Structure 1
Amino acid sequence: MAPRSPPPSPRRPGGVVLRGGRGLSVGLCALLAVLVLAVGYAVLSWWSEGGRSLPPVGYLATLPLVLVAALVLAGAWSVRRTVRGRRASGPHDGLRGFRVLVLCQAAALTGAVVAGWSLAHALVARAGLALQGLGSDAAAALAVTAAGVLLVVAGLVGQSWCRLDEDRTAPPAP
């Protein structure tokens, strides 16, 4: 029977993350966005070429994305203050920091998916942008794409704020 690895320490928010402790990267988020863009463009092109109209997109869809980006940054800022010693830590601060880290990574991945899908929508509906201008679905899809990119940036910045430096937790090497 193989030995079980110990559970992640709640005192180390950076203990278990993707990619061997380094977290998400910009490249991984960009790759996910490009994959969703390719699949979304194929599906939406097939859908619209079949004579069906594209699903509507509105500017209102940007509000939840911007709100989540602000909440992710607020939570990560609190963890950053704790890690830097500017805020008193409580008994569950490590676990809370780990949860905020996972939230930041989920926000970055979600933003990449939203940006890829809405950019695919904007590319398929680009004729409407030329004809209708800012009132078209393509313009609203571009606004949602920008909000998705903002969510990716907020998630990656928040992830970096949740990182523990190894030199603070490990004793100095002789």
Structure 2
Amino acid sequence: MKAQYTAWWHIVVAIIIGGTFGVSVASLVERSAFSMLGAPWFVDVVLVCLGVVVLVLSWQVKQYVDGKRPYIDANRAVLTLVLAKALTLGASILVGWYAGQLLICIPHWEIEYFHEVGIQCAIAAVVCVLDIIAGYVGQHWCTLPPNKGPEHPQIKAQRKMMRSAVTEMQQREQKTI
């Protein structure tokens, strides 16, 4: 099995999707009597903690790959990679969400309520950008060397060499007959 990194354009698409929803909801809320969503401080704390957890787990996988750690469970390494990918895409959507709300707040910046919500969204967007970076770095740290299974380049080369040797022997036998 070969895992692939999150493509850069997936991140851009997720930001655009989140931004579209953020602008839509914020503009709808702006025209109604409801309050805007914003981002309470504990959301930022949770997002920072998620980024740190992904980096710590990914670093452990990197230590194993570099030979500085004797053993790591392969399932744990794969799950860490999945977590890093999920953080990258989830934070991308949230960047768009908070940036969309921030765009609606900017024209009304002089009003205290919009000013507070805008600052909350700006901080949350920055934290989400840091999470995107943490998730992307985590994905690269979770690259395991290929095992000596059938997909390993050395094994493929050996198999190819054996096939060519067998084919060569068969051709020699046919010539002698």
TM-score (norm 2): 0.76
Corresponding residue SS for 2:68: coil
CA deviation vs aligned residue, 1:98-129 (integer Å, no higher than 9, x gap): 01001111111111121111111111122443
Please state which structure has a larger fraction of its residues in helix.
2
Residues 105 and 115, structure 2, Cα contact 8 Å, conserved in 1 = no
Question: Could you tell me which amino acid in structure 2 is paired with residue 129 of structure 1?
Answer: W
Alpha-carbon RMSD: 2.5
Answering whether residue 83 of structure 2 is matched by residue 100 of structure 1, we say no
2:12 equivalent in structure 1: 30
Query: Equivalents in 1 of 2:24, 2:114: separation in Å?
Result: 24
What number of residue pairs does the alignment pair up? 154
Query: Equivalents in 2 of 1:54, 1:24: separation in Å?
Result: 31
**In 2 relative to 1, CA 133–69 (structure 1 residues): closer, same or farther, beyond 3 Å?**
same
2:169 equivalent in structure 1: none
Q: Which has the larger radius of gyration?
A: 2
State the 1:143 CA deviation: 0.3
**In 2 relative to 1, CA 35–134 (structure 1 residues): closer, same or farther, beyond 3 Å?**
closer
Residues 128 and 137, structure 1, Cα contact 8 Å, conserved in 2 = no
Residue 83 of structure 1, aligned match among 65, 77, 86 = 65
Query: Equivalents in 2 of 1:130, 1:79: separation in Å?
Result: 48
Unaligned ranges ≥5, structure 2: 162-177
Residue 22 of structure 2, aligned match among 40, 60, 68 = 40
State the 1:36 CA deviation: 1.4
1:8 equivalent in structure 2: none
**In 2 relative to 1, CA 57–127 (structure 1 residues): closer, same or farther, beyond 3 Å?**
farther
**In 2 relative to 1, CA 66–95 (structure 1 residues): closer, same or farther, beyond 3 Å?**
same
State the 1:134 CA deviation: 10
Query: Equivalents in 1 of 2:17, 2:39: separation in Å?
Result: 21
CA deviation vs aligned residue, 1:10-56 (integer Å, no higher than 9, x gap): xxxxx353xxxx22122211211111101221222122212332124
Taking only the aligned residue pairs, the percentage that are identical comes to 22
- Flag as ranges the 4+ runs of structure 1 deviating above 3 A: 127-135, 165-169
**In 2 relative to 1, CA 82–134 (structure 1 residues): closer, same or farther, beyond 3 Å?**
farther
Query: Equivalents in 2 of 1:136, 1:159: separation in Å?
Result: 35
